[in-house]
Amino acid sequence: MKNLAALLLFLGLSASLPALDASVSYATFKSPTQSYIEIYLHIAGRSVTFQPVTDSTYQAGVEVVILFKEGEEIVKFDKFTLNSPVAARPLDFIDLKRYGLKDGKYELVVAVKDIHQPENAKEFNTQIEFNYQGDALLQSGLVLLASYHRSDNPSNAFVKSGIQMEPLPYNFYSRHASSLIFYNEVYNADKAIGEDFMVSYSIEKLEDGESEMVMIGHKRQKPQPIIPVLVQMDISQVPSGNYNLIVEVRNRAKELLSRKRIFFQRSNPFLDQELETLQLAANVNLQEEFVEKLTPEELEYSLRALTPKLPQGDVDLVNSMIRNDSLNAQRLYLFSFWAKESPNNPGFAYHKYMEVARAIDEQFNSGFRHGFETDRGYIYLKYGQPDDIENRDQEPSAPPYEIWTYYEFPLTNQNNVKFVFYNPSLAPGDYQLLHSTAFGERNNPQWQRDLYRDAPNEIQGSDYFGGTEMLDNFNRNAGRVFRDY
């Protein structure tokens, strides 16, 4: 029997797919025999349709068409299917293609469409130029990397100069990235320079039509026909924003011989929060605000109650403030959060939220932690009151459980979202999240088996082949409640 719970998950994903999310980037290079271009493809797994391969695994695929045009003439054409890995959940997947071309100007067109949903498609086009003739010093295109490691596998398309490199999709460094890594090649240094030279690399911030240098580094090189340049830069202290990476080649007289640049974006909310807090401290007199009246105990309580609403990157920051008893930092953070939520009256917004948080604390308090720190309290504060709660506490072979339903779920653009909580310890109020259909929350296709673990002989289908549902029985209601019948 098919793994029905997992299948329903994938069908749910397919039914609410966002538009095809694909990153297409490229870089040009020069080899001893021919110029060539590398095209990097990255497909977001959640934006394409996955179909069953086995009882518990799935695969997606996209059709890719790549063509190069000179004027109206197509000079090179390629068409292929790019398949995702076979996996139990949607995964992103990547590819790299190389094409040799003569020097000249071309229009590059890349069309991508979901093979299981052809109307889900996207097309990219841009102008490219090859100019690698002669003996002047030249540079390849710049490639931003998500990661790299050494490799001796020459058959791997992602290996170049003994390094396996994974291109960075979307030229975007998220809050999880602490390093910028780039790859570049320098050509003809032996003929054009003939002595040691310098490769300089810098990051400039773009804001309001102006640019500002925020970081610079240098690397001395010896002349060779082809010189690979692989550099890693620490960007942990680079704030969110738009940037250019610039790589320059200069001789000993510091004369500019070649320059390449590439645009990228950076998200760094943890650092941004620190900067905003410092700025706020300089501009706001907290002695006149609601946070000044809070005792240390009330401050900690308020921050812990705020956890379900915090960006994930801020949770560690707040916990650090609490551990270190940083009362000023706690007041600054709490005020800045509510000042952004309600600029005209942050105190009023804070007190309204805390009324709900205290009620949730009382309702779901388990005796071991605050009620808003339990799974049910956390979900309630994070997503709001569910539209329906089904409580079952008298079923044989199952501990007490609840199924919450949200008919509309705008945070992830879903409908009819379910949360299943259960109490395996039977301790008062100790309900744990067992399964949810909400994107980003715990998804457990075997939740019925875990709930009815005391009835292992009533699994629907073969246990060996991954049965996940229970046989219909008037004492086995969770599956019916979950399906609303």
**Complete DSSP assignment for 137-149:** -EE---EEEEEEE
CB contact at 8 A, 48 and 17: yes
The whole-angstrom separation of Cα 412 and Cα 231 is 38
Third-level CATH fold of 1-133: Immunoglobulin-like (2.60.40)
Check whether 306 has a pLDDT greater than 90: yes
Give tens-digit pLDDT for 30-61: 998 889 999 999 999 989 999 999 988 999 99
CB contact at 8 A, 113 and 62: yes
Residue 48 CA: distances (Å) to CA of 16, 17, 91:
10, 7, 10
Check whether 325 has a pLDDT greater than 60: yes
Chain center to CA of 155: 29
* DSSP code string of 220-266: EE---SEEEEEEEEE-TTPPSEEEEEEEEEE-TT--EEEEEEEEEEE
pTM surpassing 0.75?
A: no
Across 1-10, 25-34, 56-65, 248-257, least confident range: 1-10
Domain boundaries defined on the chain: 1-133, 134-267, 270-371, 386-482
CB contact at 8 A, 120 and 48: yes
* DSSP code string of 320-384: HHHHTT-HHHHHHHHHHHHHHH-TT-HHHHHHHHHHHHHHHHHHH--SSS-GGGSHHHHHHHHH-
DSSP assignment, residue 87? Answer: B
- One fold for 1-133 and 134-267: yes
For the segment 321-330, the average pLDDT, to the nearest whole number, is 81
Third-level CATH fold of 134-267: Immunoglobulin-like (2.60.40)
Give tens-digit pLDDT for 183-226: 999 999 999 998 999 999 999 999 888 889 999 999 999 999 99
Give tens-digit pLDDT for 105-151: 999 999 999 999 998 999 998 999 999 988 999 999 999 999 999 98
